[in-house]
A and B are shown apart, each in its own frame.
Chain A
Amino acid sequence: MAATDTTRARPPGTPPPPERPAGAPARPLIGLGAAARMLRPVRARLIACAVLSAAAAAAGVVPFVAVAEIGRTVLTAPGAAAAAPAVWAWAGAGAAGAALRLLLLGLSTHIGHTADAEMLHHLRVRIVRRLGVLPLGWFRAAGSGEVKKAMTDDLEAMHELFAHTLGGMAGAAAALLAGVGYLLSVDPRLALITLAVPLLSVLAYRIGMRSSSPHAARLLAAEGRISAASVEYVDGIGVVKTFGGTGERALGRFDAAMREHTGAYRAWAAENRTTSAVNRVLGSETAVLGVVAAAGLGFVAAGRLGAADLLPFLAVGIGLPTAVAPALVHGAHGLRTARMAAGHIAGLLSRPPLPEPERPRRPRGHRVEFDRVTFSYDGAANAVEDISAGCEPGTVTALVGPSGAGKSTLAALLPRFHDVTGGAIRVGGVDVRDMASRELLASVSPVFQDVVLLRDTVAENIRIGRPEAGDDEVRRAAKAAQVHDVVMRLPHGYDTVLGAGGGGLSGGERQRLTIARAILADAPIVVLDEATAALDPDSEAAVQDALAELVAGRTVIVIAHRLHTVSGAHRILVLDQGRLAESGTHPELLARGGLYARMWRAQYDGDRA
């Protein structure tokens, strides 16, 4: 949040930080109405915050007015004694105004903060709920980055809105209105002249920012290159060093990226030279002072203004524009950022959930049937096309084929990571779309090569397979998955909390924990997608033993690269470019001499070594 706060303090005329180019193509802005609906739970508090902030700002003008009025009173009164009561009254008002401002500001900030914390929590809970019903495929496509962005970055950008922007803008507007109103009541002509200075300054800023989009885009691209070059440098430093280079080549790229960045920045600054100088000069208190002095003296000399009436402009007028302009300019910017972030969150919250059947049907048995299954990610090309096959309970069905053949896609359709775009998948005679998703997922245990462990205890990580399972059952599953001994060596055994990376467990051990989870879940159908491919051979043997334990007696669908691992399968489905090229047992397919036989030969014959 520090980073966002610093942008608020940017003086007008400074190019905005490149991560938020003013005119870069951005996510759609959320409508104000939609944003207001999103903020409904804390609306009353946000309004209170803004009103109090405005009142505080208005109270903050009172001390300045007091000084001006003390001057006018003294200078127009016949003597000091006569003026005393009024002077003291104004001094009291000034002190009271300062105190009131502090009080109201504290209240406003406090209410804003509470609303902020409530709103963030509320939105996070809503996001979590929504994530729980989105199609599983979305997580794979959009990835965890999207989730993280919504849960942290976007919400933080919105927090700016609750915590700072709304109150700040309301305050600035109120201060401006109060100050200008007072000055207009003293002398409208001089008031307008005083205001003209900052208006011209803002105008110069606008003109300077007009051409900002291409510059911002160029800067952003250059920053991207700097980042890529430094990533390449640190990633490649091992290569660079071990191959005797001094890294000049990689550093050269970094230098070139920096030169480009410098050039882009300079070009922007050069184009803005005049406007930013004008903006800077006119945006200062001193400029207002000069103008007020010149115009005011002129009026006084011409007898059109009492000398005492200069005081309000000196006390209230000079500082007013510089005090409120940043809040207004950057407030608009913050509002835009917050609306963008809100748009993203609203988009996530309104994503269609995975359709649930109104009257879920229960499967009879666990036969898996692919019936003319077709699926397309993009609606144009089919990743899987017209595949039909049945998998009998207690048998192993293998999916093989070149990479990109659609094996993983087909396997992911069974637990409804995506819904088929043609045909149907049935479990026990019931279309998976007609089953309650909880029941479907309880019947199908997927084991993938990317292991997901929760940052929780070992026991909870296994138990999530079947939350009501007792400690004995958890241990039995761990033993069956060949991971019990490993767990017992951990500092707190089953109560050891696993870290984000699995905390001290090797890849094979982590994989065995997920197998223990699947064994505990006891789902009748098991989908294995390259479950051992990412392991080193030392772990692989143990994982293989665990898998053997898991698949015993179940309906198994297994994806394999190494063909010999599935040579004993009851049926091998050979996929090629999304279609079923051939199927049969290992000897049948070898005898056929088709794609499978060619793949087998490529893997196991004709070693050159």
Chain B
Amino acid sequence: MIRRLFRLWPHPGLLVRLWLLTAVLAVLQGLLLGLLVPVLRALLRPEPDIAAASPWLAAGAAGLIAYGVLSALAPPIGYAACIELAVQLRHRLMRHVTTLPLGWFSTERKGRFVRTATSVSRDLAQLTYVIGAPAITGTLVPATIAAVVLAVDWRVAVPLLVTLPVALAALARAKRTVAEVSADMEVAGNEIAGRAIEFGQAQPVLRAAGRAATGTARMRGALAEHRTRYRRGLRRMLGPDLAYSGVVAAGFVAALVTGVRALLDGTLPPADAVALLVLAVRYLEPLGGMIDHAAGLGAMQYLAERAEKVLRTPALPSAPRPVRGLAHAGVEFRQVAYFYGDAADGAAGRTPALRDVSFDCPPGSTTALVGPSGSGKTTVTRLIARFFDADAGQVRVGGTDVREYDHGVLLSEIAIVFQDVYLFDTTIEENVRIAHPDATDAELRDAARAARLDEVVERLPDGWRTRVGEAGAQLSGGERQRVSIARAVLKRARIVLIDEAASALDPENERAVGAAVTALARDPGRTVIVIAHRPATLDAADRVVALDAGRVTETGTPDELRRTGGGFARLYDQYERTRGWHITATFPEG
């Protein structure tokens, strides 16, 4: 556990100081209690002899002062450690996450990462003090007392010395059980939470079916299941808890009986016996209290594992001698295969997203990717930008495998316009300029015009200085997409990847975005690869790559493919039909 924590914190200076100080205090406390032996020997004579006790009392007074001074020092170091460790861990996590492939950032992983960088880091850092320190005290005070007792009478010491390791083993078991039960309960709790959300969302349909009052069978099942698991979990924790307390109590009783026997058969002087029994009590109490920390120790382990998991995620591999320039802006796929899921599972356990995909996009051309949802279009664009790497075959840009490039150089040549556009909480101008911080105002305005962003900026209250809000919340989806296109234009990247999501937009934005995309596609200086949904975009493309179930089904010019009457032709008709569809009550119309 300690080694694990030190692995998380490469500069554990404060933590070491905090724990050392705690350890010193614990040993000092044990020794001060140990002074009871000589002091009581002096006092518990028929006539108390304070003079005989005074050297010990002087030592005790000195020890008390030292203890007071040292323990007054502890809280500031503890606070500083809490802060310092959280900051260190958060920095490490942030730096590491920067090296991960962009494909790693799924919504779920992002959520987990944010929790790790915030509450997990904070709690773990706090636990090193809040749980770590009492755990050290709870172990070292009894250990010191056992040593003192051993120095006075080995017989009484034996039960105490035997109890300590057994108790710690029992504590470890309790800790494991708590961890297991917590994990189990978390699963059951998540299930309940999921069902509750679903239950709320599905109210209209459940009520129409008359099932609102009782919930669905699965809801009731989840509630009953939760109760069962919960009871089982609590019952499971009870055993190790009581076992621990039992071990500690048995150790104490054994010491008590041993001490009393030695006292009564005259082999242990009464004063010594009394002092040792008092020490046995002082041994019992902190050790017994350790069970209260079992949950905290379990939590510490669990949190440390979560932080480790993020830090263990492999970074995007980089070439030993990275290529730092593109020969040209052509893109080629050579028998590319890609599987969803964790690479560690092997190909068998993973779903193929692309299989044997080959096509060429010459420099300056515009290629439309078409196909039903789930056919692998998005995967194609993400492989070009190395969100993740192909499992087989080669993705080449400028004639060179993308894995050979310095990733930064590769990305500097690529502009990406995806469906989900992320904007930073700053002005709209800064959000566009991020693509090219040194751009002149004229360049900025040109880019805005090309992306039809100028209309949006005109309407905003503070023009270019308008703040877009958290994640760009002040702008609509279409407006955000226009910002993203403006970025792409301003960046002057030679390769542009576009995921056109026209249908999520309102009609006005749809038209503006469509026009901007078409304009980008017509620029001969750019290689454009666009996931196309609009007939107009298809018409603007030089070539079409049609995908279905991860395979290329057709390639050619739009005209050729429309004439051959294959899947593309059907799709094209469908797009046209969608545009013309309208709703009537009496007859469905094509």
Query: Of B79, B210, B230, B273, which is in contact with the most chain A CB atoms at under 10 Å from its CB?
Result: B79
Question: What's the least CB distance linking B171 to chain A, in Å?
Answer: 14
Given A266-B79, A284-B71, A131-B87 contact (CB < 8 Å): no
Known: A8-B292, A237-B102, A552-B588. A231 touches B249 (CB 8 A): no
Decide yes or no: A396 and B583 within 8 Å by CB, A144-B196, A228-B470 being known contacts.
yes
Q: Which residues of chain B are within 8 angstroms of A558 by Cβ–Cβ distance?
A: 583
> Which residue of chain B lies nearest to A134 when distances are taken between CB atoms in the complex?
B203
Q: How far is the CA of A549 from the CA of B589 in the complex (A)?
A: 10
Task: Please report the C-alpha to C-alpha distance between residue A352 and residue B502 in the assembled complex, in whole angstroms.
Answer: 43
**Contact partners of B285 in chain A: CB under 8 A:** 319, 323
Q: Tally B residues with Cβ within 8 Å of A.
A: 175
User: Would you call A152 an interface residue if the criterion is a C-beta within 8 Å of the partner chain's C-beta atoms?
Assistant: yes
| Complex alpha-carbon distance, A247 and B470, angstroms | 17
A445 CB contacts on chain B under 8 angstroms: 208
User: B201 contacts the other chain (Cβ, under 8 Å)?
Assistant: yes
A151 contacts B503, C-beta separation under 8 Å = no
Interface pair A91/B581, CB less than 8 Å apart:
no
**A11:B134 contact, CB within 8 angstroms:** yes
Q: Which residues on A sit within 8 Å (CB–CB) of B415?
A: 242
How far is the CB of B143 from the nearest CB of chain A, in Å?
16
Q: A232-B425, A265-B82 are in contact. Are A551 and B571 (CB under 8 A)?
A: no
**Of the candidates B78, B178, B205, which one forms a contact with A452 in the assembled complex, judged by CB atoms under 8 Å apart?**
B205
Closest Cβ–Cβ distance, residue B264 to chain A (whole Å): 5
- Neighbouring B residues of A278 by C-beta, 8 Å: 72
Number of interchain pairs (Cβ within 8 Å): 485
A17 lies within 8 A of B71 (CB):
no
**Interface residue total, chain A, C-beta cutoff 8 A:** 190
Say if the beta carbon of B447 comes within 8 Å of chain A.
no
Which residue of chain B has the shortest Cβ distance to A235 in the bound complex? B422
Given contacts A70-B277, A95-B257, A318-B282, contact A265 B43 (CB under 8 A): no
CB-based contact B227/A121 at 8 Å: yes
Partner of A237, one of B97, B118, B257: B97
A403 at the interface (CB under 8 A from B): yes
Which residues of B from 181 to 199 have beta carbons under 8 Å from A?
A: 182, 185, 189, 192-199
Asked if A148 is at the interface (CB within 8 A of a chain B CB), the reply is yes
> Which of B43, B97, B118, B197 interacts with A227 by CB under 8 Å?
B118
Residues of B within 8 A of A269 (CB): 75-76, 79-80
Interface membership of A236, Cβ < 8 A: yes
B residues 265-295 in Cβ contact with A at 8 Å: 266, 270, 273-274, 277-278, 280-282, 284-285, 289, 292-293, 295
- The interface residues of chain B lying within 8 Å CB-to-CB of A564 are 579-580, 582
Asked if A441 and B278 make an inter-chain contact with CB atoms under 8 angstroms apart, the answer reads no
Q: Which residues of B contact A481 (CB under 8 A)?
A: none
CB distance from A79 to the nearest CB of B (A): 10
Interface residues of A in 36-72 (CB under 8 A from B): 63-64, 66-68, 70-71
Chain A, 292-329, contact with B by CB distance < 8 Å: what is the 0/1 string?
Answer: 01000100110000011011001100110001001000
User: Which residues of chain A are within 8 angstroms of B584 by Cβ–Cβ distance?
Assistant: 396, 548, 551, 568-569
Q: A315-B278, A568-B582 are in contact. Are A117 and B227 (CB under 8 A)?
A: yes
Known: A6-B295, A234-B105, A273-B76. A151 touches B192 (CB 8 A): yes
B502-555 at interface with A (beta carbon < 8 Å): 502-504, 506-508, 511, 514-515, 518-519, 533-534, 536
Partner of B114, one of A234, A245, A310: A234
Question: In the complex the two chains form, is A235's CB within 8 Å of B257's CB?
Answer: no
Query: Nearest Cβ in chain A — how far from B324, in angstroms?
Result: 13
**Bound-complex Cα distance A301 to B372 (A):** 96
B202 within 8 A of A: yes
Whole-angstrom CA separation of A80 from B261 in the bound complex: 11
Residues of A within 8 A of B266 (CB): 80
Closest to A570 in B: B585
Q: Which residues in window 428-457 of A have CB below 8 A to B?
A: 437-438, 441-442, 445-446, 452, 454-456
Q: Per-residue CB proximity of B195-220 to A under 8 Å, as 1/0?
A: 11111111111111111111110110
- Cα A222 to Cα B586 in complex, Å, equals 60
Q: With an 8 A cutoff between CB atoms, is A533 at the interface?
A: yes
Q: How far is the CA of A144 from the CA of B196 in the complex (A)?
A: 8
Would you call A230 and B118 a contact (CB within 8 A)?
yes
Chain B 90-130 interface 0/1 with A at a Cβ cutoff of 8 Å (1 = within): 10001001100010010000100110011100110011011
On chain A, the residues within 8 Å of B502 by CB distance are 537
Q: Cβ of B200 and Cβ of A139 under 8 Å apart? A: yes
List, in ascending order, chain B residues with CB within 8 A of A442's CB.
208
In the assembled complex, B485 has its CB within 8 A of some CB on chain A: no
Task: Kindly identify, within residues 42 to 81 of chain B, every residue whose CB is under 8 Å from any CB belonging to chain A.
Answer: 43-44, 48, 50, 53, 57, 60, 64, 67-68, 71-72, 74-76, 78-80
- Determine whether B501 belongs to the interface, using a CB cutoff of 8 Å to chain A: yes
The answer to whether A310 touches B385 (Cβ under 8 A) is: no
Residues of B contacting A315 in the complex (Cβ-Cβ under 8 angstroms): 277-278, 281
Q: Which residues of B contact A163 (CB under 8 A)?
A: 234
| Neighbouring B residues of A277 by C-beta, 8 Å | 71-72, 75
Out of B44, B196, B434, B435, which one reaches A308, CB within 8 Å? B44
Q: Please determine whether B209 and A244 come into contact, CB atoms closer than 8 angstroms.
A: no
Is residue B564 contacting chain A, with contact meaning CB distance below 8 A?
no
Query: What mask results when residues 100 to 122 of chain A are scored 1 for a CB within 8 Å of chain B, else 0?
Result: 01100110011001101110110
Residue of B nearest to A156 (CB): B189
Asked if B256 contacts A124 (CB within 8 A), the reply is no
Please name the residue on chain B nearest to A270 by beta carbon: B76
What B residues does A71 contact at CB under 8 A? Answer: 44, 274, 277-278
Chain A 13-32 per-residue mask, 1 if CB under 8 angstroms from chain B, else 0: 11101110000000000000
Encoded as 1 (CB less than 8 Å from any A CB) or 0, chain B from 376 to 412 comes to 0000000001000000000000000000000110011
Query: What 0/1 readout, one digit per residue, does chain A (74-89) give for beta carbons within 8 Å of chain B?
Result: 1100001001100110
By a CB distance below 8 angstroms, the chain A residues around B412 are: 244
- Of A84, A231, A442, A533, chain B has the most CB atoms within 10 Å of the CB of A231
A360 within 8 A of B: no
Do A147 and B281 have beta carbons less than 8 Å apart? no
**Contact indicator per residue, chain A 498-509, by CB within 8 Å of chain B (1) or not (0):** 001000001110
Contact residues of B between 412 and 454, Cβ < 8 Å to A: 412, 414-416, 418, 422, 424-425, 434-436, 452
| Distance to closest chain B CB from A434 (angstroms) | 17
Q: Is the CB of B189 within 8 A of A452?
A: no
A281 to B25, CA, bound (A): 11
Shortest beta-carbon distance from B281 to chain A in Å: 5
Q: In whole angstroms, how far apart are the Cα atoms of A433 and B68 in the complex?
A: 73
Asked whether, in the complex, the Cβ of A538 is within 8 Å of the Cβ of B227, the reply is no
Indicate if the CB atoms of A314 and B278 lie closer than 8 Å: yes
B90 and A556 contact, CB distance less than 8 A: no
B518–A609 contact, CB under 8 A? yes
Interface residues of A in 513-552 (CB under 8 A from B): 517, 521, 523, 528, 532-541, 544-545, 547-549, 551-552
Q: Give the shortest distance, in Å, between A295 (CB) and chain B (any CB).
A: 13
Q: Does B487 sit within 8 A of A, measured CB to CB?
A: yes
Interface residues of A in 443-494 (CB under 8 A from B): 445-446, 452, 454-456, 464-467
**In the complex, A247→B79 CA distance in Å?**
30
A184 contacts the other chain (CB 8 A) = no
Contact of A556 among B206, B579, B585 (CB under 8 A): B585
A50 to B401, CA, bound (A): 70
Are B278 and A311 in contact, CB atoms less than 8 angstroms apart? yes
Chain A residue nearest to B387 (CB atoms) is A238
Residues of B within 8 A of A117 (CB): 227, 230-231, 234
Chain A residues with CB under 8 Å of B245's CB are: 101-102, 105
Q: Is the CB of B161 closer than 8 A to any CB of chain A?
A: no
CB <8 Å contact, A67 and B256? yes
Extra contacts besides A67-B280, A238-B416, A286-B28 (13): CB < 8 Å: A6-B123, A67-B277, A80-B263, A101-B249, A105-B242, A238-B105, A242-B411, A326-B292, A396-B585, A455-B218, A551-B585, A552-B586, A561-B507
What are 15 A-B interface contacts by the 8 Å CB criterion? A2-B302, A70-B277, A91-B260, A95-B253, A113-B231, A132-B213, A133-B213, A230-B114, A231-B114, A254-B94, A456-B218, A465-B208, A523-B208, A561-B506, A564-B579
